[in-house]
């Protein structure tokens, strides 16, 4: 379960990172994917599979910047579903450029 949550968060973080204007590379190497996965695991300090605002601010500044938009239900935690939904929206925007 935690691996699937981490994978979902990883995908979302990748899409968030690539949505930044400075991101010129569209695909990530295996090493980059692993590094992002490691960052997400490290950010989830309490190991609950969710990223709360404090966790995002401490370790994921880009996620923290958009936290309120990502937190669709306003519960103060980013679930895999919320991250997946935002990742899908961002991917769609990139395709429509």
Mean pLDDT of 7-35: 60
Compute the distance between CA of residue 72 and CA of residue 79 in angstroms, rounded to an integer: 9
Domain ranges of the chain: 2-95
State pTM to two decimals.
0.62
Compute the distance between CA of residue 43 and CA of residue 49 in angstroms, rounded to an integer: 10
Summarize the chain as % helix, strand, coil (round to 5): 65, 5, 30
Q: What is the CATH number assigned to the segment(s) 2-95?
A: 1.10.238
Q: Would you state the pLDDT for residue 92?
A: 84
Compute the distance between CA of residue 81 and CA of residue 97 in angstroms, rounded to an integer: 25
């Amino acid at each position: 379960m935690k691996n699937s949550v981490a994978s979902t968060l990883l995908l979302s973080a990748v899409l968030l990172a690539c949505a930044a204007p400075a991101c010129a590379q569209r695909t990530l190497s295996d090493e980059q994917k692993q590094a992002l996965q490691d960052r997400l695991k490290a950010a989830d300090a309490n190991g609950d599979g969710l990223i709360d605002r404090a966790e995002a601010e401490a370790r994921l500044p880009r996620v923290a910047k958009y936290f309120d938009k990502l937190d669709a239900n306003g519960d103060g935690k980013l679930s895999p579903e919320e991250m997946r939904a935002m990742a899908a929206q961002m991917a769609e925007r990139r395709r429509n450029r």
